[in-house]
Amino acid sequence: MSPSARLLRLLGLLQSRPRWSGPELAARLDVGRRTLRYDVAKLRELGYEVEAGPGVAGGYSLGPGGSVPPLQLDDDDAVAIAVGLRLAAATPGLADQASLALAKLERVLPWRLRGRVDALRTFTEAVPDADRATDPDDLVLLTAACRDARTVRFAYTARDGSGSQRQVEPYRLVHLDGRWQLLAFDPARDDWRTFRLDRMRLRPGAGARFARRTPPSAADLVVRSDAFHRRHHAVVLVEAPAEVVARRVPSSVPVEHVDESRCRVRASGESARALALNLLLLDHDFTLEQASPDVLAALADLRRRLDPALSAPPPSAR
């Protein structure tokens, strides 16, 4: 093995696990300890922070450097990274960086892999969803808050379009169905909640520290939350074009094109009354095709309240 190939092999070994003993590395490289020390010194000259510890508990480890070192990847590693970068290209705020990183990866791959990655880049397309945009800086801020056990404050827009101010204890970020969600404990409601990041407007600044609790399963909580909202649901045929109605509802509400003058809206809400009021705020005639019993009762209650008000003579006629 040439000295250059041996250095690359040593670098790959150091990157593969946190710590190696001297005898282990020497045996893997089939060299003596003196040659191993020489190779370690060469890596340090090239800018790699190879740390060495004496004694039985010592050994060699690769410390963090000022820049990302060349990685020693096998074929499956390289393809997995390429797929991940292609998916990241669909994330608003990361699209340009992910595409550039994929192009850099392709340039340094061996010929046997370059064709596979080039086909992946050429014949796949990742389309960013502007309605689900998540700022990468928000991901960094929230994961740091989870790590440091610090509260976060934000303005939140619920499914039904209502807004609120929240201060919660963050625990974990969950990526589900193309969306990032925050699992957090909400002291004001004394319960666990999930919040979609594309509906959050974070307030800057580090929050107060909190005592950690034992969180529930993030996936189970998200599924339970979705099931809760589906309890209050309605499907209505609206006498207006889909593009007109879509401007009046949150982006999370499905609006289906029926024809040039009608569309179908499938809505859900945190409460039956809020959902009933939001149907009226569509500001267009609609026909109720399907609804949960509580939503039907809420609409009937609104009609009961409106009938006396509409049957009374206007103030100017008194």
pLDDT tens digits for range 96-126: 778 778 777 777 677 777 777 777 777 776 6
Greater confidence, 120 or 41? 41
Does 15 have pLDDT greater than 50? yes
The reported pLDDT for the residue numbered 235 is 92
Contact 199, 133 (CB under 8 A): no
266 beta partners: 235
Does 70 have pLDDT greater than 50? yes
DSSP symbol at 177: T
**Architecture of the domain spanning 136-216:** Roll (2.30)
User: Regarding the domain delimited by 3-62, which CATH topology (the fold level of the hierarchy) does it fall under?
Assistant: Arc Repressor Mutant, subunit A (1.10.10)
Contact 99, 84 (CB under 8 A): no
**Architecture of the domain spanning 233-311:** 2-Layer Sandwich (3.30)
Q: Which residues contact 23 (CB under 8 A, 6 or more apart)?
A: 33
Q: Enumerate the domain spans of the chain.
A: 3-62, 75-128, 136-216, 233-311
Task: Report the percentage of the chain scoring pLDDT > 90.
Answer: 30
**What is the chain's mean pLDDT, rounded?**
82
Does 142 have pLDDT greater than 90? yes
CA distance linking residue 16 with residue 187, whole number of Å? 43
Same fold, 3-62 and 136-216: no
Q: Average of pLDDT values for 227-248?
A: 84
Does 133 have pLDDT greater than 70? no
The reported pLDDT for the residue numbered 206 is 81
Q: Average of pLDDT values for 257-268?
A: 91
Q: Which of 59-63, 178-182, 207-211, 214-218 has the highest mean pLDDT?
A: 207-211
